[in-house]
Structure 1
Amino acid sequence: MVLTRRRGSFADLEASGQRRRTRRERFLEQMEAIVPWREWVALIESHYPDGRRGRRPVGRGRMPGTCLLQVWFHLSDEACEDAVLDSRATRRFVGIDMMSEQVPDATTLPEFRHLLEGEGLGEGMLAELVSILDERGIIMRGGSIVDATFVESPSSTKNRERSRDPEAHQAKKGNNWHFGYKAHAGVDAGTGLAHTVEVTAANVSDVAVAPSLLRPDDEFCYAGAGHAGARGRQQAPGHPDPSEVTWRIARRRSRVPGRDHPEVSWERGIESSLSRVRSKVEHPFHVIKDLFGLRRTRYRGLEKNRNQLCVAFALADLALLAQAGRTLAPTCA
């Protein structure tokens, strides 16, 4: 199937005299130019309903756009439907002409999301993007940086089931308790773009997941102090043996010599150099939590949140590329 993006409508023509473009409009235009539509739609197409039975499904080229809007602006199904109805910029991004098409409603959106979750297409979208980056020579090889962040879940029991998310757990970091999930990410040491994502309950340790975040050709890996002991962990299927990787792990602050120690300048200089490299892993986390607003989960269950976070990391990579002025041409539609 060849994906065609809508060129414009009478509604677009009516608003063409508008002098000032909104920030949302500029952002969506920037993202539309860099999203790998052709590859992602082709990935989804084989799992999409063919329309032979039941109601005719919404076009394949429309639903991915609404899914991306939900992640970028942290919208519920109803809010996403309202945003497409109210905003010309979002309608243009999704590719819907109100004169001939209907906006996907709040019952159609979760059906598409469940399709992505059931077939693991969120992880597939991230893997497809990483493959494109590799083909274009944008992403580097040989080394990774790994880290993890908490994604909180509502701890209240004031809901229909009168219970919290049964697959979410609590963990303590410092003096604070966190209830929810943990997103583990492996990013390229050269560019800071995420290439592997794992989602677990919050009580799973960082070091237990570290081996599954490595790429087959990684020779070294930077990590925080919470990954101490990663070298001795068991090899994950399809990933390199942790014992054969050079681990550059930050020392705990309590083990760094104090200011009155004769080796303080040398020790702190090494830690500072490691931190400068390791800080690249914070860029995708910043985009997801601060720009996309994904600080708390919207859905219950590990698979639903894994799907959303994988898509979010893929979109964070695209946002970082766009910020750097890079493109994925010539495959983008």
Structure 2
Amino acid sequence: MSGGQRGFWDVQERLRELSAQGDPLEKLAATVDFEMFRADLDAAFGPRDRAKGGRPCFDPVLKFRMLVLQAMHGLSLAQTEYLVADRLSWMRFCRLGPGDAVPDANTLWDFREALIAAGALDALFARLDRAITEAGYLPMAGQIVDATLVAAPRQRNTEAEKARIKAGEKATDIWSDKPAKARQKDTDARWTVKFSKAKPTAEGKPQVDIAVPAFGYKSHISIDRQHGVIRRGKTTDAAAHDGARLREGLIDPNNTAADVWADTAYRSAENERYLAGIGKVSRIHRRKPPGRPMPRRTAQANAAKSAVRARVEHPFAHQKGVMGLVIRTIGIARARATVTLANMAYNMKRWCWLDRRGLPA
């Protein structure tokens, strides 16, 4: 009753109502057993010296659950702390009660920094991928490779500062007399130009490519065609060329089919030799011959490839739309952690969707 005395079972009753309405986090927790990450998390931090005393540490699995929530909703660490303390469904997902302490933003920051320093995120990603495979969703029917830009806070630097950044100097060297400023300067992110086609004019004039400047990083992924799960990932600065990343671990050797789809950015003699050398079949789009119209047969083949390749756009659209993926941190190491956590969060949601749909494994 509004304004009345709070009952002893009010919280449980509200949680039952949330379950009846289909709480997505409850379904996620039922699908993904977060305890499977405990061994990798414990290995990253090592045994705690209890002789030093002090307050007991928060459970690492609890903090990892909170990082997953952050990645799923594009939040800051402070927002994540607040919402876990505020929302009953988020509390339940984190295995907390209304009276339990919630790790604060600084604790989550230190936890994420420790994961980065230990190189544990790749192991956690691989563990999730094994769990999805063991659930019956084998990587099969080929794989699709693509990349997308991920925005980062734009930098305002002078021409001299830009030249020093391009020369490989660190922020602490460039702004040695201003340490506070140096901490806010990202010398790993890069500017690049993304070309997009404008809409045709009312007069029927042809479309013209428009150059759109972008600053930040680039997420490179490979998904399996059958289930749409991200199997491999890599993070670079925004200026890195897509095609060269194909030979840097993006191809999943466990995929049972040999076909590899990608757009024209990945078409090169080196990539064709590489794919042939590892027993893969190239389904990469072919470019239009310079100064000549594209042969009809090539255009038809590209159209058939596009029908398959377009599936890789779904993870990017979901991450940048629903999940609000952006880079809020400074440096390539933290950007890589953000993208890896976003890839893991997407795979968890995809796993839930596959189970709900009852797709054949």
2:320 corresponds to which letter in structure 1?
A: K
Cα shift readout 1:92-114 (whole Å, capped 9, x = no counterpart): 11111243x31111221111111
Cα shift readout 1:234-264 (whole Å, capped 9, x = no counterpart): 86xxxx7657432111234677986xx9x64
Counterpart of 1:28 in structure 2 is 25
Decide whether aligned partners of structure 1 residues 248 and 109 sit closer, same or farther in structure 2, where only a CA change above 3 A counts.
same
| Identical positions, percent | 26
Decide whether aligned partners of structure 1 residues 123 and 23 sit closer, same or farther in structure 2, where only a CA change above 3 A counts.
farther
The answer to whether the 8 Å contact 1:151/1:182 transfers is yes
Decide whether aligned partners of structure 1 residues 21 and 247 sit closer, same or farther in structure 2, where only a CA change above 3 A counts.
same
| 3-state SS, counterpart of residue 191 of structure 2 | strand
Number of equivalenced pairs: 309
Cα distance in 1 between the residues matched to 2:101 and 2:232: 36
2:280 corresponds to which letter in structure 1?
A: V
Cα distance in 1 between the residues matched to 2:7 and 2:95: 12
Kindly state the Cα deviation for residue 55 of structure 1 after the two structures are TM-superposed: 3.7
Cα distance in 2 between the residues matched to 1:74 and 1:103: 19
Decide whether aligned partners of structure 1 residues 23 and 112 sit closer, same or farther in structure 2, where only a CA change above 3 A counts.
farther
Counterpart of 2:280 in structure 1 is 245
The answer to whether the 8 Å contact 1:257/1:267 transfers is no
Matches within 5 A, 1:210-289: 210-211=246-247, 212-217=249-254, 219-229=258-268, 231-232=270-271, 244-252=279-287, 264=296, 266-289=297-320
TM-score, scaled relative to structure 2: 0.76
Pair 1:318 & 2:348 matched? yes
Kindly state the Cα deviation for residue 209 of structure 1 after the two structures are TM-superposed: 0.5
Counterpart of 1:205 in structure 2 is 241
Counterpart of 1:131 in structure 2 is 130
Kindly state the Cα deviation for residue 298 of structure 1 after the two structures are TM-superposed: 1.1
Matches within 5 A, 1:94-173: 94-99=94-99, 101-141=100-140, 143-157=142-156, 160-161=180-181, 164-173=185-194
The answer to whether the 8 Å contact 1:321/1:327 transfers is no
10, 25, 29: which one aligns with 1:14 = 10
Decide whether aligned partners of structure 1 residues 208 and 108 sit closer, same or farther in structure 2, where only a CA change above 3 A counts.
same
TM-score, scaled relative to structure 1: 0.82
Cα distance in 1 between the residues matched to 2:7 and 2:94: 14
User: Please, which runs of 5 or more residues in structure 2 have no aligned partner?
Assistant: 1-5, 158-178, 196-210
44, 47, 50: which one aligns with 2:44 = 47
Decide whether aligned partners of structure 1 residues 37 and 63 sit closer, same or farther in structure 2, where only a CA change above 3 A counts.
same
Cα distance in 2 between the residues matched to 1:272 and 1:28: 39
The answer to whether the 8 Å contact 1:231/1:245 transfers is no
Kindly state the Cα deviation for residue 51 of structure 1 after the two structures are TM-superposed: 5.2
The answer to whether the 8 Å contact 2:41/2:61 transfers is no
Pair 1:307 & 2:337 matched? yes
Higher radius of gyration, 1 or 2 = 2
Cα distance in 2 between the residues matched to 1:23 and 1:51: 44
The answer to whether the 8 Å contact 1:256/1:268 transfers is no
Q: Compute the RMSD of aligned alpha carbons.
A: 3.2
The answer to whether the 8 Å contact 2:67/2:341 transfers is no
Kindly state the Cα deviation for residue 36 of structure 1 after the two structures are TM-superposed: 3.0
The answer to whether the 8 Å contact 1:284/1:316 transfers is yes
Kindly state the Cα deviation for residue 301 of structure 1 after the two structures are TM-superposed: 0.9
| 3-state SS, counterpart of residue 161 of structure 1 | helix
